[in-house]
A and B are shown apart, each in its own frame.
Chain A
Amino acid sequence: MANKAPKILVFSTEKISDPAIDLAGLLKMHYPPTVYSIPLRCSSSVKSRWIMHAFEQGFDGVFIAADGTDCSYGESCVDKTAAIIAQTHEMMKAKGIEPARLKMAALCSVCAEPFVKHMKSFYEALSKTPA
């Protein structure tokens, strides 16, 4: 396990944060290839059980690329997503998973640079944390 690259699952959103991840590619900004994204309709639709499932299946970190205030379904999604994260953090603690393995940040549709920065620092942090 020690030498293995950490795997990160990103829950992005189809209309906002996934385009930012695409843009990072378009601009040839590199980040680790063990970062995978599953685009959802809105970040506040992510279920805790999916996040927990990802950890059980071997993902080292999960990142919620939230919509922020740009969300086309209304601004309430920010608070709702934060509430899901808080709830999942509790579940993680109960299972002995470091809460720092689940992170969230709002990404706008052109936030390619912030996305890459987040991935790099999350990847680094996860590399240092023993599984």
Chain B
Amino acid sequence: MENEVLTYDALVVGGGIAGEETALNLAKMDYKVLLVEKELSIGGKMILLSKVFPTLDCAACITTPKVSETARHPNITIFTGSEVKGIEKKGERNFEARILRNPRYVKEDACTGCQECEPVCPVVVKDQYQFDLVGRKAVFVPFSIANPRIAAIDIENCSLCGACEKACPSDAIDFSQEPEEKTYQFKSVVVATGYKLFDPIKMPRYGYGKHKNIITSMQMERELAPTRPFNTILRPGDGKMPDNLAYVLCTGSRDHTVGNPICSQVCCMYSIKQAQLLMGALPMADVTIYYLHIRSFGKGFNEFYETAKGMGVEFVKGKIGKISEKENGNLILRYDDIETGQVKEVEHDMVVLSVGILANDEIGQVFKTQKLEFDDYRYVKQIDELKRPAMTNIDGVFVAGAASGPMDIPDSILSAGSASSEAASYLAEVE
């Protein structure tokens, strides 16, 4: 760290698809970018998805080239496992940010990602990158396509037994590492902090967390992903392959009772996509989607919806009231069938809750001198949405991707493009 650069043209907060796209665009214009990601790998949520609509190409396949391009670009410096603690605006094109780099307890240059440490580690905890479907060790490579693909020690759960240290062929384990906080200077800031997923625990009538065979759509993404934990689709309760699945759309969206009145914009499409993938993975299975309105509005989306209908995915216009569990683990869905006006009950052997997306408003605390404004739903406010869509209330601070509102991957990429352009214009004024 001797010649560490402390001054950059842009600070990009968040290393998901929007942050990467913004960083790459700026880097290609010869601006120096620092990309700060709080997770152990860049790639955001997209890198953990299975295939993506409406083209059905694999998320990993299309995101990993972008991830490695970002990681390789000479104008981009990446801090993973790091947090932006405070941003102060000192003047025009003059931001000062404190950044905390959490230790991995693994030497980044030495670790080759061979995973020899994992089998010897005695600690098993839930794997957050598999959305708790399976376990991982306290020392672990986050996931097979992580970038950087190197190990980290989850110190909170580590028993400090030292087994990994002995097993490591390249002496990369280093328990002496300490958190490091430093101040850096920037001319501009791009907020690309993405979104949070709705936690269906907040809707007790669905029984998520209580009924074993109800999972979230993100968990289903992992079951369907090429780097999936089970290599097939299983219901978590008993490891049985499901043959009659239900999707509950608008879980946590368009719902005042959970404080989120807006539409999440992506759930219809990802559910239709998962249904299509399930028809392929489990050819005998039935998939029913319970919906209020199908919102397949983007390019090629409506055609994709029609394809799903043609494949035999069942669409039921209905509002789910309550889900209860039978002794055999199957689930009874009580719902208001809108087309007949009757309340019905139906049995499924697995239920997927199509959880909505919520604002990730943590970034709000980071801005110290001038408050970053949010909209009514706690997304970063676009103060001139029609004419300058990436502009925030703080001059020189821009927003990219789902940090400004729910959006799908193609829209996030365009939004990142707009943040790059607007930031580049802002930076060009200095020159």
Contacts and interface: CB of A to CB of B under 8 A. Distances in A.
Nearest to B62: A109
Contacts of B58: 108-110
B61 interface: yes
B5 to A, nearest CB: 34
Interface string B33-74: 000000000000000000100011110110000000000000
Contacts of A70: 55, 57
B144 A26 contact: yes
Contacts of A26: 144, 226-227
A112 interface: yes
B144 A110 contact: no
Given A23-B226, A26-B144, A110 B231 contact: no
A110 B224 CA distance: 11
Name the residue among B51, B55, B226, B231 with the largest chain A CB count within 10 angstroms.
Answer: B226
Interface string B216-235: 00000000001100010000
Interface residues of B, number: 11
A23 B61 CA distance: 11
Contacts of A112: 226
Say whether chain A's binding surface is mostly helix, strand, loop, or mixed. helix
Contacts, number: 21
A1 interface: no
A27 interface: yes
A108 B57 contact: yes
A110 B231 CA distance: 13
Given A23-B226, A26-B144, A109 B231 contact: no
A112 B58 CA distance: 12
A105 to B, nearest CB: 16
Interface in A13-34: 19, 23, 26-27
Given A23-B226, A27-B231, A109 B144 contact: no
A112 B61 CA distance: 13
A27 B51 CA distance: 17
Contacts of B231: 27
A19 B60 CA distance: 11
Contacts of B61: 19, 109-110
Interface of B: 51, 55-58, 60-61, 144, 226-227, 231
Given A27-B231, A110-B61, 19 more contacts: A19-B61, A23-B226, A26-B144, A26-B226, A26-B227, A27-B226, A70-B55, A70-B57, A108-B56, A108-B57, A108-B58, A109-B57, A109-B58, A109-B61, A110-B51, A110-B58, A110-B60, A110-B226, A112-B226
Closest 3 CB pairs of A and B: A110-B58, A109-B61, A110-B226
20 contacts: A19-B61, A23-B226, A26-B144, A26-B226, A26-B227, A27-B231, A70-B55, A70-B57, A108-B56, A108-B57, A108-B58, A109-B57, A109-B58, A109-B61, A110-B51, A110-B58, A110-B60, A110-B61, A110-B226, A112-B226
